[in-house]
Chain A
Amino acid sequence: MMPPLALPEINKILLVLILFLAVLIITVKDLLFLNFLYRIQSFFIVLVSLALYAPDRKTSLLAVASITLLSKVIIIPSIIKNAQNKLKIKRDVEFHYLTPISSILVSIAVFFAVYLSFSRLITELPDKTFLITGSLSVSLMFMGMIIIFTRQQTITNIIGFLTIENGVLLFSLFMAELPLIVEVLILLDLVMLIVLASLLAFGIDSNIEEFHKKLQPLSKFLGGQK
């Protein structure tokens, strides 16, 4: 078993790595590589859950780690990869409102703003490491938002949305474990959302007939006219 003192340090290192991956996501133009970065970022979140599981062996944390591995490291990136393979556009080269460097500077400013804001809550919450973990998680959410606002392609926007969602998951892991059923339902909801968004991304990239061909298997499954 890992010495207890080492665990918070491991988590801090993992958090910094997760933020570094978000910085990369802000700057990278290749869509396939973006998806890969998201997969790695989610894998680090699995490692955070396992590091949190190690001291008390709470089954709920192990379950969260397993569900995250399955949904965010395997299923969702595969759905996005599948959508990407069918898209004509492979790179997202345009940046709106902010250049990558200014996006990173804004992210740093956001972190300090969140840190200052959360420092007022420190006396009212159980976890004294909340200030750092909470600020990093919420900053990750804002970085995801920056990705959505500054990038053109729907697939990049989906990755931005998923980055925000990773921020929420981290926040939830450090702050309080929600009941497992709620965690599972949230992830199911997320998978549905991503499937739909990927389908719409394909619709924008193709013509309406091709898009409706993609919808047809679902319609046939539901007993629609052949």
Chain B
Amino acid sequence: MMLLSILVGVSAILLIIFLRSNKSINLVSLLHALYYAGLSIYQMYAGSLPQYYLENKYFFIDSLGIYELLIASVIFFLSILYLEGYIKSLVEHEELNPKFVKLFYICMNLLLMSVAFSFFSNNLALFWIFLELTTIFSAILIVILNAVENIYAALKYLFIASTCMLFSFVGLILLYAFTKHNFGAGTLNWSELMSSASLITPRIAAYSFMFIFIGFGAKAAIAPFHTWVPHAHSKAPSAVSAILSAVILNVGIYGIIRTFAVVRQTSSGQIASNMLIIFGFFTLGIASLSMLQQKNVKKLIAFSSIEHMGTILIAIGLATKASVFWVLIYIMASALAKSLLFLCAGIANRQYMSNDIDSVRNFIKLQPLASVGIIVGVLAISGLPPFALFMPKLLVLIQISKFSVLMLIIALLSILISTGSFALFFTKFFSSVDEASSIHKYNTPAKMKASIIILIILLALLGIFLPDRLADIAGNIVAELKI
């Protein structure tokens, strides 16, 4: 399976190098994303999990990895579908040099491969390497536009994420040294660490987790390591922002879940739990307050993404079966809602050539579908029914209330602030009407519209009906994580 995935990825990149038309290049990228979606669905329904690869079991496919891969591949597929028309507009307005279109798609495919292999990595050091590669390829995707501000945004992202990631490597080395000393042979294989986690001494577990959390936390946009997110998300092309927000942040959270599952079984488990809850609330508070005064639509969505990462972290920290189960559904639903908002914000950007609210006029009239998308996205991300985030958000809040009423009040207050910020922002966004305005309508290409329609349908469907197999997989993950 690993060899086939490499083969598919390399073939896609070679085809992109030799193909001439942007349409064919886009199609190849779409097929690449579809391969991973197909692989994850096949493994979910027909595969016996976990499956190990290579003699030293460096790679594996298990329920958590395959679940995350499904979410990531769907987001990649929809973002790539959206990209064809979006790139055309960027090139027409000289925001993207046509010479860089291939480079753009190649980095997009390499990013997809890095994400997929990070989910396939049983070995935490390999996971670390693939996570670092996601930083490199996504930074190139940010910097490729014709704007100096993008270089600043990419550099900030590169320095913060990579510096924090180096600290997380110290945690991995500590863990490796301990296992080498105590288990005979050193290992960073997650499956082996899980089976011998009870033998890891509490101090080593706590120190390792603390260091590892810095790096993975930075990738997951956890405050105070989150400062790269608003710049990178707002400057990147919208399809890339959607991937950064809905996929890359999730890879960071995925790393935290994996290491937390190991540490949770030691007597330092409670320390790790408390740490996640404290950082979760800190992130939630910082992000919701930052949303209040935003005038840039993409920055607003970026801070909302950070806020959701805070909620996810709290739910993981609670470490009950129910909180972890619902956080998995939460991860999926929030990924869809964030992508929808970023893709709609991309249409607004093409319409007004700006992300600033002051430049918006007659949006509903000019872009009815994107308007519906934004309304659905805001309702969904705020956790309102009937959309997919309603149940997981409600049940996570119930879990928080069981833990502490004060925590529930703080969480509700933060959610209220963020929902209020969205309401204020988009009331102004939609109510800016100027009949005399002569803004030329941007004709949104059909594929861009299709991505948005699919996301709206998915958010609505998953709000009404959660497929049994998805619920089974989430249940299996909770069992595998031994929480």
Contact = CB atoms under 8 A, between A and B. Distances in A.
**Do A and B come from the same complex?**
yes
Interface of A: 120-121, 124-127, 138, 141, 144-145, 148, 154, 157, 161, 164-165, 167-168, 171-172, 175-176, 178-179, 182, 185-186, 189, 192-193, 196-197, 200-201, 203-204, 207-208, 211-212, 215-216, 218-220, 222-226
A115 to B, nearest CB: 14
Q: Tell me the dominant secondary structure on chain A's binding face.
A: helix
Given A161-B163, A196-B139, A124 B176 contact: no
25 contacts: A126-B180, A145-B163, A161-B166, A164-B166, A172-B169, A176-B173, A176-B177, A178-B173, A179-B125, A189-B136, A192-B136, A193-B158, A196-B139, A196-B158, A197-B158, A204-B155, A212-B97, A212-B100, A215-B100, A219-B102, A222-B103, A223-B17, A224-B103, A225-B99, A226-B99
Contacts of B207: 121
Q: Tell me the dominant secondary structure on chain B's binding face.
A: helix
B440 interface: no
B205 to A, nearest CB: 10
A135 to B, nearest CB: 12
Contacts of B173: 168, 171-172, 175-176, 178
A124 B143 contact: no
B203 A121 contact: yes
Nearest to B168: A168
Interface of B: 16-18, 97-103, 106, 123, 125-126, 129, 132-133, 135-136, 139-140, 143-144, 146-148, 151-152, 154-155, 158-159, 162-163, 166-167, 169-170, 173-174, 176-178, 180-181, 186, 201, 203-204, 207
Contact of A203 (B123, B151, B167): B151
A200 B99 contact: no
A204 B99 contact: no
Nearest to A221: B17
A187 B350 CA distance: 40
Contacts of B180: 126, 176
A189 B166 contact: no
B129 A215 contact: no
Contacts of B201: 124
Given A182-B123, A200-B143, A201-B155, 12 more contacts: A121-B204, A124-B203, A125-B181, A126-B181, A167-B166, A176-B176, A176-B177, A182-B126, A203-B148, A212-B100, A219-B102, A222-B16
B35 to A, nearest CB: 21
A185 B129 contact: yes
A108 to B, nearest CB: 20
B136 A126 contact: no
A45 to B, nearest CB: 15
Contacts of B154: 200
B152 A204 contact: yes
Nearest to B105: A222
A5 to B, nearest CB: 23
A186 to B, nearest CB: 6
B159 A222 contact: no
Nearest to B207: A121
Contacts of A196: 136, 139-140, 158
Contact of B159 (A124, A148, A185, A204): A148
A212 to B, nearest CB: 6
Contacts of A212: 97, 100, 146
B177 A125 contact: yes
A157 B163 CA distance: 10
A218 to B, nearest CB: 6
Nearest to A211: B151
Given A165-B166, A168-B169, A193-B136, A178 B158 contact: no
B100 A219 contact: yes
A204 B139 contact: no
Across the A-B interface, give the 4 residue pairs with the lowest CB-CB distance, nearest first.
A176-B177, A126-B181, A175-B177, A203-B151
